[in-house]
Amino acid sequence: MDSLLNNKGPKRIDKMLTKKFDEFKSLSSKVNDNVNKDNTINVNAASKEELLEALLASFDDGPEEGVARTIAEKLGDLDSLDFHRRTVKKNNSQVLFEVLAETMDAKRRGKISTTPARFYVMLLKAKKIEW
């Protein structure tokens, strides 16, 4: 909670969102670099598939999926991605990122005696956040 009060939590959230945006820009740049004037892609077949899959995933997922995946990745909890999707649908993502920041701060300070994912859920319960 201390980290949220002294504005370190929002800064971490900004860094995470900036990283995701930079990843998307990098992907867009790769696609644009490989598109000829006649709109054909000038790369080998494997690269085409990878670029296309990544590009389609970035549009199909939507913001809720991105938030859920980011939280799950940070917690090392991709096995529970469905749980995080449900939580994101029921809550404001800013609140969830604040709980994530608090969890990661507790982990950094060695205050967690369980997994970060379990600590995160414990905080959700303590704060009466719907999940």
**Block means of pLDDT (10 residues each) for the chain, length 131 residues?**
49 68 62 50 54 54 83 95 94 92 95 96 95 82
Query: Domain for residue 131, yes or no?
Result: no
Domain that holds residue 25: 2-126
* DSSP labels, 69-131: HHHHHHHT-GGGHHHHHHHHHHS-HHHHHHHHHHHHHHHHTT--SS-HHHHHHHHHHHTT---
Instruction: Report the predicted TM-score, pTM, of the whole model to 2 decimal places.
Output: 0.55
Distances (CA, A) of 58 to 13, 61, 73, 86, 113: 19, 6, 16, 19, 35
Q: How many domains does the chain have?
A: 1
Query: Domain for residue 47, yes or no?
Result: yes
Query: Domain for residue 82, yes or no?
Result: yes
d(CA 16, CA 38): 36
